[in-house]
Structure 1
Amino acid sequence: MISYKGGSFQKIASQGGETRNVLKSRNHQDSDKSANRQKEYTEIMMQGVAPQNRHVTSVAQEFLSVHWDRRKPLLLGYSGGPDSKALLYALLECNVTPHLVHVDHGWREESRKETLELQEEARKLGCPFFSTRLENARKEDEAREGRYAFFVTFFPKYASLLLAHTLEDLAETVLKRILEGAHLCNLGGMQPVSKQNGMAIWRPFLRVKKRDLFEFLQERGLPALNDPTNADPAFLRARMRKEIFPLINQWFGKEIYQNLALLSERSYELKKYLDSRISSVPEYKGPWGAIFELKGLGLLEIRHFLLKLAKAHSIVFTRPVLNTLIHWVLSQETSKHLVVKNKKIYIDNQRTWVCTAI
């Protein structure tokens, strides 16, 4: 097991005093025994499962056939909850043996016992199992940061990190960004295929509803862990899931998940288009660094370019600051500048550059 403290991971002794390196696969049994266990599992689980109820497995199979070349193993983020458990057993039905990585957020004392239960489950299935417990994650964002910091330590050994986010998870992200006032290009939520810190992330179930996964587990008699923090109203995601979405669906008279997922796609399409439009912005070398010529760009393109420029310099523009800069560009103002933190952003006759403020 690996302990995460203060932004770094430390190895600690697992049961029996053995210290494990997370970058080395752990052999529970030899590969032949592992294959036999999985074959036996598949035969038992699929008894009585009608072909029309194998939709979840088919989704996983189709996704892997497009994206996976089988040259490297797959790493599955495994909480033991309904979503990740459904993805694990769908992979097994596809004759795929994922390696499992589990993150205990450290919010509940009983989660230590649950980690051991998941470790034993992985042993029986022949899936290598790695885990960590976060010591200082008190908020959702901190927990997410801790999870991904642990995940990235496994790469580039694996082809990708598989996550079991669903249609509802995607919709929640999009609605949250709408209500936060995100820019149109930033409304998009999670994508089926993405990359983060050099780590490929795949989400095969991003268009699958949670109830389909529940049915998948029920048909196969597979119990999942129930983490009560997922329903704790202290967390925004729980409030959205238990209160906001049911109310909106009721008022609207239909589920809005698909529409929000479609909005996510359109947002990424707009971002891709604007990226192509600003890719040819002329760049010159000046005494303070790169100078960019914004002549010929429209309002949306200027906003998009300035936001990307800010991100490149680790600057966050407030709306008033961004609107002022856009106004200066469109009005062809000269010798204008604003200071944000320790950076000066200059606008001069539809040219812009950034330098360190003295």
Structure 2
Amino acid sequence: MAASRTPRPNRPEPEGNPAEAALAGLQLPLPLAVAYSGGADSTVLLLAAARRWPGQVQAIHVHHGLQEAADGFEAHCRAACEALGVALQVRRVHARHAAGESPEEVARVARYQALARAARDAGLQAVLLGQHADDQVETLLLALSRGAGLPGLAAMPPVFQREGMLFVRPLLALPAQAIRDWVREQGIPVVEDPTNADTAFTRNRIRHVLLPALEQSFPRYRETFARSSRHAAQAQELLETVAQEDLARMGGTPALAALQALPRARQANVLRHWLRTAHAASASAAQLEELLDQVTDCTTRGHRIRIKVGRGFVQRQGERLVFAADEA
């Protein structure tokens, strides 16, 4: 059984929850929800939030159905929320990925959609997420391993909007070990995802192999890596401003002549921004380079552009670029 014993009902609120300090200074719109998986991270967050804002906190559990233990996770969450007197919503998602798409990314997007919709349906104003400092480092190292640009190196933002809902990650400065130690000391039951120990997954190899080595060589790596991510986020914010201004001057959609007047790096910047913000699409490095080459070569009326990007195509329509969703 993936979940440990059923939570003891009516247990007193334990003292010393490491998440409480992270929530102490936060002023958030109420009521709100905690994204609750039943794991240690979301458990300490739910306990701290319920104590910080009594009667103003609900829990949302997303059932992915991706493994046999998922029903056990849901049962644990129901019992834990009943013991706490916290309302729980369970949302089931069945994320299907297309060829070439990451199953993990598709599941992540489906999870955020489910959380946002559940929160809206319940009249909630924000959703708290339990990612911590080690998750942030893992995200940064994954981005580095994939050759990511500034958005990837910025890792996870502490506050963001998705599907019209405010999401907040208050635990990003809190090490995973502090959470695990407190949960174990208090004897608080949590679920353990069996896939977390599977080093066939890159993130798990980072967690179990790379992070311990970093701890030995650079004990303050969580702080210094987080600082680098903040620098990347600031630089990305500046690029976003430039892209918005460039696109506005083109009338809101990429104009070939205006693009050609920009340096190549600035062309790439505005095209990435346009694809992401207007069409929720992301071009691979190879697709973007091909698109930039086509923009450069587009000097005649008969020059045709049609390049696959995500679930659609970027193509020429007169003197502008448009995005056409794949009908297949």
Q: Distance in 1 between matches of 2:19 and 2:323?
A: 53
Which residue is 1:49 aligned to?
none
Which residue is 2:4 aligned to?
none
* Residues 36 and 42, structure 2, Cα contact 8 Å, conserved in 1: yes
Equivalenced residue count is: 299
Find out whether 1:60 has 2:26 as its counterpart: no
Which residue is 2:114 aligned to?
150
Q: Distance in 1 between matches of 2:84 and 2:259?
A: 58
Deviations 1:14-50 (A, max 9, x none): xxxxxxxxxxxxxxxxxxxxxxx6xx823xx23xxxx
Q: Distance in 1 between matches of 2:106 and 2:286?
A: 29
Q: 1:292 to 1:208 in 2, by over 3 A?
A: farther
* Residues 284 and 292, structure 1, Cα contact 8 Å, conserved in 2: no
Residue correspondence of structure 1 range 206-221 to structure 2 within 5 A: 206-221=172-187
Q: Distance in 1 between matches of 2:152 and 2:124?
A: 29
Paired letter, 1:99: Q
Which residue is 2:315 aligned to?
344
Deviations 1:175-234 (A, max 9, x none): 111211222244222111111111211111011111121233244332322221221224
Residue correspondence of structure 1 range 1-358 to structure 2 within 5 A: 41-42=12-13, 45-46=14-15, 53=16, 55-63=18-26, 65=27, 68-70=28-30, 73-97=31-55, 98-134=57-93, 139-156=103-120, 157-250=123-216, 252-254=217-219, 256-281=221-246, 283-284=249-250, 293-294=258-259, 297-311=262-276, 312=278, 316-320=282-286, 322-323=288-289, 334-335=299-300, 338-341=305-308, 342-345=313-316, 353-355=320-322
Q: Distance in 1 between matches of 2:68 and 2:305?
A: 50
Answer with 135-144 or 151-160: which moved more: 135-144
Q: Distance in 2 between matches of 1:141 and 1:333?
A: 34
Query: Would you identify which runs of 4 or more consecutive aligned residues in structure 1 move more than 6 Å?
Result: none
Q: Distance in 1 between matches of 2:66 and 2:243?
A: 45
TM-score by length of 2: 0.76
- Once the 2 structures are TM-superposed, how far is the Cα of residue 325 of structure 1 from its aligned partner? 5.6
Structure 2: segments with no counterpart, 5+ residues: 1-9, 98-102
Paired letter, 2:21: S
TM-score by length of 1: 0.70
Which residue is 1:33 aligned to?
none
Q: Distance in 2 between matches of 1:162 and 1:327?
A: 43
Q: Secondary structure at the match of 1:280?
A: helix
Q: Distance in 2 between matches of 1:303 and 1:80?
A: 42
- Once the 2 structures are TM-superposed, how far is the Cα of residue 136 of structure 1 from its aligned partner? 6.7
Q: Distance in 1 between matches of 2:202 and 2:223?
A: 21
Paired letter, 1:184: L
Structure 1: segments with no counterpart, 5+ residues: 1-36, 47-52
Q: 1:333 to 1:111 in 2, by over 3 A?
A: closer
Paired letter, 1:120: A
* Residues 56 and 212, structure 1, Cα contact 8 Å, conserved in 2: no
Q: 1:292 to 1:90 in 2, by over 3 A?
A: farther
Q: Distance in 1 between matches of 2:117 and 2:262?
A: 42
Q: Distance in 2 between matches of 1:91 and 1:304?
A: 39
Deviations 1:149-185 (A, max 9, x none): 3212224311111110001111111211121122224
Q: Distance in 2 between matches of 1:79 and 1:356?
A: 37
Q: Secondary structure at the match of 2:127?
A: strand
Q: Distance in 2 between matches of 1:263 and 1:346?
A: 41
Q: 1:293 to 1:115 in 2, by over 3 A?
A: same
Q: Distance in 2 between matches of 1:95 and 1:321?
A: 47
Q: 1:343 to 1:88 in 2, by over 3 A?
A: closer
Q: Distance in 2 between matches of 1:84 and 1:343?
A: 40
- Once the 2 structures are TM-superposed, how far is the Cα of residue 340 of structure 1 from its aligned partner? 0.5
Q: 1:310 to 1:146 in 2, by over 3 A?
A: closer
Q: Secondary structure at the match of 1:223?
A: coil
Q: 1:109 to 1:242 in 2, by over 3 A?
A: same
Q: Distance in 2 between matches of 1:229 and 1:356?
A: 38
Answer with 102-111 or 179-188: which moved more: 102-111
Q: Secondary structure at the match of 2:245?
A: coil
